[in-house]
Amino acid sequence: EAGVAQSPRYKIIEKRQSVAFWCNPISGHATLYWYQQILGQGPKLLIQFQNNGVVDDSQLPKDRFSAERLKGVDSTLKIQPAKLEDSAVYLCASSDLSGGAAPLHFGNGTRLTVT
Amino acid sequence: DAKTTQPPSMDCAEGRAANLPCNHSTISGNEYVYWYRQIHSQGPQYIIHGLKNNETNEMASLIITEDRKSSTLILPHATLRDTAVYYCIVSTNAGKSTFGDGTTLTVKP
Residues of A in contact with B4 (CB under 8 A): none
User: What is the structure's pLDDT at A2?
Assistant: 82
User: What is the structure's pLDDT at B2?
Assistant: 67
Rounded to the nearest angstrom, the minimum Cα separation between A78 and chain B is 20
User: What is the structure's pLDDT at B69?
Assistant: 95
Mean pLDDT over all residues of chain B?
94
Rounded to the nearest angstrom, the minimum Cα separation between A107 and chain B is 6
User: What is the structure's pLDDT at A72?
Assistant: 85
> Could you give the CA distance from residue B96 to residue A45 in angstroms, rounded to a whole number?
9
Mean pLDDT over all residues of chain A?
94
Tell me if chain A has a CB within 8 Å of the CB of B40: no
Residue B56, H or E segment: strand B55-56
- The average pLDDT across A25-47 equals 95
Higher pLDDT, B20 or A2: B20
> Could you give the CA distance from residue B46 to residue A101 in angstroms, rounded to a whole number?
13
Query: 3-class secondary structure for A9-45?
Result: CEEEECCCCCEEEEEECCCCCCEEEEEEECCCCCCEE
pLDDT at residue A107 greater than cutoff 90: yes
Tell me if chain A has a CB within 8 Å of the CB of B104: no
Pairwise CB contact (< 8 Å): B49 & A31: no
CB B49 within 8 A of CB B34: yes
Length of chain B, in residues: 109
User: What is the structure's pLDDT at B96?
Assistant: 82
Please list the residues that pair with B86 across neighbouring strands. Answer: B37, B103
List phi, psi (to 5°) of B88.
-110, 125
pLDDT confidence of A106, banded at 50, 70, 90?
very high
pLDDT at residue B38 greater than cutoff 70: yes
Which of B67, B107, B91, B106 has its CA nearest to residue B3?
B91
A70, amino acid identity: L
